[in-house]
Chains A and B, each alone.
Chain A
Amino acid sequence: MADTRRINLTVNGESHEGEVETRMHLADFLRQSAGLTGTHLGCEHGVCGACTVLVDGEAVRACLMLAVQANETSVTTIEGLAEDGELHPVQRAFQEQHGLQCGFCTPGMVMSLAAYIDENPSPDERDIREAISGNICRCTGYQGIVAAGLQAAVEIRGGG
């Protein structure tokens, strides 16, 4: 039988406790055990970035982290980014700048940018391009995503 451990973590503010296989990665835990299917798996080898979530505020590839490693952490997924039904500035900017088409890479893109702008609220275009160079999008050609990142940064830093 597969080795299992008991873990307890906070996901989008709610406590999740359960017995998981030690080999289960965090993305599968979020999708299958927590029922949060907004975190997507695009490559499962840590390149495409679709599975990016925030673990204690840091952008992390949920396919490269085991669920047991997330024990006692606080995880934010795309489902937890909007507050009180109000879209996060990055989410809103994605719609306004046409930063998404099929929407599959989008949760990872949004989480990566939300974390990055939190760290650097005054990015230029090159900064945004570097910040999402660990996320692959096949649909948009990135230009709308870059514009969304710049727009969101302006809003987050208060228009300055």
Chain B
Amino acid sequence: MDTYVGSSVLRSEDPRLLTGNGRYIDDIVLPNMVHAAFVRSEHAHARINGVDADTARSMPGVVAVMTLDDLGEPYNTKRTEQPYPSPAFKQDITIYPLARDEVCFVGEPIAVVFADSRYTAEDAAAMVRVDYEPLPAMVDVAAALDDDAPLAHADSPDNLIATLSIGFGDVDGAFANAPHVLSESFRQHRGGCHAMECRGVIASVDPAHGGLTMYSSTQSPYLVRSVVARYLGEDEHNLRVIAPDVGGGFGPKAGVYPEEIVLPLAARMLSRPVKWVEDRREHFLATNQQGDQVWSLEVAADDDGTIRGVRGRVIGDAGAYTNYGLLLPMTSVIPLPGPYAIPAIDVKVDVAFTNTPTKCPVRGAGRPTAAYAMERMIEVIARNLDLDPADVRARNFVRADQFPYQPGHTMVTGASVTYDSGDFHGCLDMAKGVADYANFSLRQEAARAEGRYVGIGVSSYIEDTGMGPYEGATVRVEPSGAIQILAGTASQGQGHATVFSQIVADQLGVAFEDVTYQSADTALFPLGVGTLASRTVVAVSTAVHEAAAQVRDKAIALTAQVLEAAEADLEVAGGRVFVKGSPDRGMTLGNLATQLAPFNTGAVPMGFTPGLEATSYNVTRGPATASGSHICEVEVDIETGEITLIKYSVAHDCGRMLNPQLVEGQVLGGVVHGIGNALFERMHYDESGQPLSVNYGEYFLPLAAEMPPIEIAHQETLSPLNPMGVKGAGEGGTLPAANAVIAAIENALKPFGVVVNDYPVDPERICELLDEALAGGAVPGG
């Protein structure tokens, strides 16, 4: 029955994207449209004493210049909505759509110019004069909770936003009398989104009925509808949000931004369509980023490396505002146990304001930092007890016979964290095979004999994929026999149209080419959540599968009635329902659809609802646990600090693969993102909070020439929580990558006793660490 599911069907999205016929936000042109350019703060922290826009307003081609005051009541005193309220907030300060009297990061929008072209709008924006009174800036989150720390918000009592914790088991007991108590402190930095398409918004008012239509380059059109409708005081049916082709998302496009508030308000005020497309500099300044976390952890272990318990503290950077709720810190600690059966954990995370852009999840959210933290504990055990790091992992893994496994703590929803399935030992063994781990020591010895330093790093992870609460889909057969799928989630390149069409084509026995998929338009499908957290393949495929099954059942039931045949004797194939063994006794799906939706002189068949269609919503039954192990092999040049990635091996388990080629694409992209985090991507700020990396000459993304061959092995343990046994694959590649790379570097430099810990690490830092090691008496080869 599965013709398409499980095979690498070529993407139906590709022909138009490959011929320049994509339709991204900046490709959309509406009649009489005006173009926006934002005036953004030049200071990380300042009072605003006034804005002089007279010159800008008088320039030819300028239609309007607006500050917060110009937005009128009630918006002139109204902060943006908090999408994710939490009782854990000690301070919840969201951003104003345009700054009111204080700016809290470089790039915060202060005013907006609308003009007949973007060129003119930028000319005029440059002529808007802002009277700043600079204030002390809080930049380094490590110091944000110090008594003398500058206040990121001038009127706040301190910089603490919330304290979250993960705890279970008897931690004191675990550490008391433990043979080994080891500790490690490390700073994790994850950069920004850097989707190749920046953000963008178009808003227009339909004069016929007054409703607003917004196009946004977003991962979450329904979240945008919800947040913007609440802010504007609109009913949701009056606000249609469409995500057109979106050129990458990676997390930051799942938030709602000031520009998404300002543009619809301006469209109402100007009675003209308005468009703003972020440029790359703005992306560096104003799009949410992930930022820094400073970790200090202790681990209690037995002689054989068995972990008894983990405890510690984290300070997490939230940036200037709380518009992404507490999702990032929550996802940084809840997944902390990872694939390991750890009896006791007690870790607290303090979340603090800084005068830098708002922090939010980037590919993996907090999970990559949680994974790195726990992998660091494995490394410190292996290093101090002189054990093989892969063996320490295997010794501590949850075993395949322990599922469903509950570490002992709860998720954000209050439900117990539960691992549904997997075989962590199996994946590690596969990865070791791919990497030829067994023979690495021979390769390392041979290299050292030539004066070269090669190293290997192992890293394991799990990911809670398919997060709730729900997604839905409609499957409809048209009179022509064509099949239409409608769903909520937006795609940013994952191949939704292809994968969901594969499922429906198999369920209804039709050709893949006869299925079309439309989504990400709130007028097409009523409800949805968003594409994030490796959730879509689980949540939507389940809904699509169920809706298609209902259509299939309905088609069989009607055919049985018309042909006076038993349902059990009918088969669905080739776009028809027919009697098994008598293919000519049957009806086409198109014919059935026509009978179920007749016009005036017809009648809907007795006992049937109109239309050969069904809508299904999938309510999550808990996360499907994806897992895997990565092994990275590197060479480090001890003279220059240059790090060369030799080979990267992956063994992963995302349950049943609906389209293996697309799964590999997700894994490959994820790994390279993680390598970027480990080696390249860093937002630099000076002491006053000025960003020093605002273009791709200053902020390095991974390039093709630097990437190693990446070899992937697949393990498929099916999730018991959904009908096809699928698990998410969008972020798993990223989760363990930083430790695989850093541990490999440390392994290469083991003769010098170098421990890297902080990432990203660059050649300059490697040289510093080597100098420190040599100054401390390290003897190469000793």
Q: Which residues on A are within 8 Å of B, measured CB to CB?
A: 1-2, 21, 23-24, 31, 36-45, 47-48, 50, 77-79, 81-82, 87, 91, 94-96, 98, 100-107, 110, 126, 128-130, 132-133, 135-146
Contacts and interface: CB of A to CB of B under 8 A. Distances in A.
Contacts, number: 170
B665 A37 contact: no
Contacts of B673: 138, 141
B19 A77 contact: no
Given A79-B20, A103-B13, A126-B705, 12 more contacts: A47-B695, A78-B19, A95-B10, A102-B245, A132-B704, A136-B701, A138-B669, A141-B668, A141-B702, A141-B733, A142-B672, A143-B709
Contacts of B195: 102, 104, 138
Chain B interface SS verdict (over half): loop
A78 B14 CA distance: 13
A45 B119 CA distance: 16
B194 A138 contact: yes
A40 B703 contact: no
Contact of A94 (B18, B20, B664): B18
Contact of B704 (A40, A47, A129): A129
Nearest to B697: A47
Given A37-B26, A48-B196, A102-B246, A144 B668 contact: yes
B503 interface: no
A37 B21 CA distance: 8
B492 A102 contact: yes
A113 to B, nearest CB: 11
A24 to B, nearest CB: 7
B669 A104 contact: no
Contacts of A142: 668, 672, 702-704, 707
Contacts of A138: 194-196, 248, 250, 669, 673, 701
Contact of B20 (A37, A100, A144): A37
Interface residues of B, number: 55
A41 B281 CA distance: 12
A39 B696 CA distance: 19
A118 to B, nearest CB: 18
A65 B655 CA distance: 48
Contacts of B572: none
A125 B76 CA distance: 57
B247 A141 contact: no
A138 B733 CA distance: 13
Given A102-B246, A138-B701, A144-B665, A95 B18 contact: yes
A101 B672 contact: no
B280 interface: yes
Given A102-B247, A102-B493, A141-B672, A40 B19 contact: no
A37 B13 contact: no
A132 B494 CA distance: 22
Contacts of A135: 704
A101 B494 contact: yes
- Most chain A CB within a 10 A radius of its CB, from B18, B21, B705: B18
Interface in B583-634: none
Instruction: List 7 tightest A-B contacts by C-beta distance, closest first.
Output: A38-B20, A104-B247, A102-B493, A103-B17, A101-B493, A141-B668, A141-B672
A36 B665 contact: no
B24 interface: yes
B642 interface: no
A40 B17 CA distance: 11
Contacts of A21: 119
**Which of B10, B17, B702 has its CB near the most chain A CB atoms (within 10 A)?**
B17
B661 interface: yes
A145 B710 CA distance: 13
A116 B329 CA distance: 45
16 contacts: A23-B119, A87-B15, A91-B19, A98-B661, A98-B665, A101-B495, A102-B196, A103-B245, A104-B24, A104-B195, A104-B248, A132-B704, A137-B704, A138-B195, A139-B196, A142-B707
A40 B696 contact: no
Given A37-B27, A42-B196, A42-B280, A91 B695 contact: no
Contact of B248 (A36, A82, A130, A139): A139
B14 A95 contact: yes
Given A48-B696, A102-B196, A143 B493 contact: no
B696 A45 contact: yes
A100 B17 contact: yes
Interface string B646-663: 000000000000000110
A126 B19 CA distance: 26
Contacts of B671: 141
A140 B18 contact: no
Interface string B28-71: 00000000000000000000000000000000100000000000
B18 A91 contact: yes
B119 A2 contact: yes
A53 B247 CA distance: 19
B134 interface: no
A107 B196 contact: no
B196 A136 contact: yes
A102 B15 contact: no
Nearest to A101: B493
B652 to A, nearest CB: 14
A92 to B, nearest CB: 8
B15 A103 contact: no
